């Protein structure tokens, strides 16, 4: 069973719908015992960093997520879910993230001819081998919607990158923790392959 964490963020239903294409049993929940007893956990989301962290704390989900990591349950953060796994965000100065991974979330710098938020398809490079990208070729296109981007402290955990006014760490993997800045559930066959790779993790 895959637990999809409900913390009043947007875009949760589209993740559930994509997983059901594989016949996966899913539950949208904020119950700690369900989350920590799941086979896999997904932290999706669209929204603001500060409000999202406040909601995670209000529902006690910050502690549940740390327990998921300690128990080595595969965890996938998507979009805002990736950002929340890190230490801080320029979007919400003074608000601490979950701190599960080390790095900062920065605003995409203004650049002539580029719109912010970054909305659209970008190709990926794979600086380090990642289990989410098994069977995919470098240059695969995925769909992004964001104004802030990850700069991870440890580049060894970066499994996919793209460029849009800045060099963006688009996906990371460390132990049982995975995260994508892009939306696999909105990225066509490539995105479905990424989700299927997560679902099939041993």
**Measured on CA atoms in the order 69, 158, 197, 21, is the torsion positive or negative?**
positive
DSSP per-residue codes, 56-67 = HHHTTHHHHHHH
What backbone phi and psi angles, to 5 degrees, belong to 120?
A: 150, -170
Catalytic entry in 79, 169, 173, 180:
79
SS3 111: coil
Give yes or no: 79 in active site: yes
Looking at residue 157, the DSSP 8-state letter turns out to be: G
Q: Of the listed 138, 169, 185, 200, which one is catalytic?
A: 185
Long-range CB pairs of 14-20 (<8 Å, 24+ gap) are 14/183, 14/185, 14/186, 15/42, 15/44, 15/78, 15/185, 17/185, 18/184, 18/185, 18/191, 18/192, 18/195, 19/195, 19/199
Contacts of 119 (CB under 8 A, 6+ apart): 144, 145
**Residue 167 catalytic?**
no
Catalytic residue among 118, 146, 169, 183: 183
Kindly report whether the peptide bond that precedes residue 117 is cis, defined as omega within 30 degrees of 0.
yes
Kindly list the catalytic residues: 79, 183, 185
């Amino acid at each position: 069973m895959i637990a999809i964490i409900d913390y009043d963020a947007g875009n949760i239903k589209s993740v559930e719908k994509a997983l059901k294409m594989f016949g996966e049993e899913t539950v949208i929940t904020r119950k700690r015992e369900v989350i920590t007893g799941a086979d896999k956990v997904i932290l999706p989301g669209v929204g603001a960093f500060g409000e999202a962290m406040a909601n995670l704390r209000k529902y006690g989900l910050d502690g549940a997520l740390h327990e998921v990591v300690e128990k080595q349950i595969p965890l996938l953060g998507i979009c805002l879910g990736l950002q929340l796994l890190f230490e801080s965000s320029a979007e919400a100065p003074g608000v601490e993230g979950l701190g599960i991974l080390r790095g900062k979330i920065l605003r995409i710098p203004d650049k002539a001819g580029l719109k912010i938020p970054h909305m659209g398809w970008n190709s990926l490079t794979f600086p380090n081998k990642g289990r989410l990208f098994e069977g995919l070729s470098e240059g695969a296109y995925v769909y992004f919607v964001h104004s802030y981007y990850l700069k991870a402290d440890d580049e060894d955990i970066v499994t996919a990158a793209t460029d849009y006014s800045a060099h963006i760490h688009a996906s990371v993997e460390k132990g049982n923790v995975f995260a994508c800045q892009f939306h696999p559930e909105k990225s066509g066959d490539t995105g479905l392959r990424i989700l299927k790779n997560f679902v099939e993790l041993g």
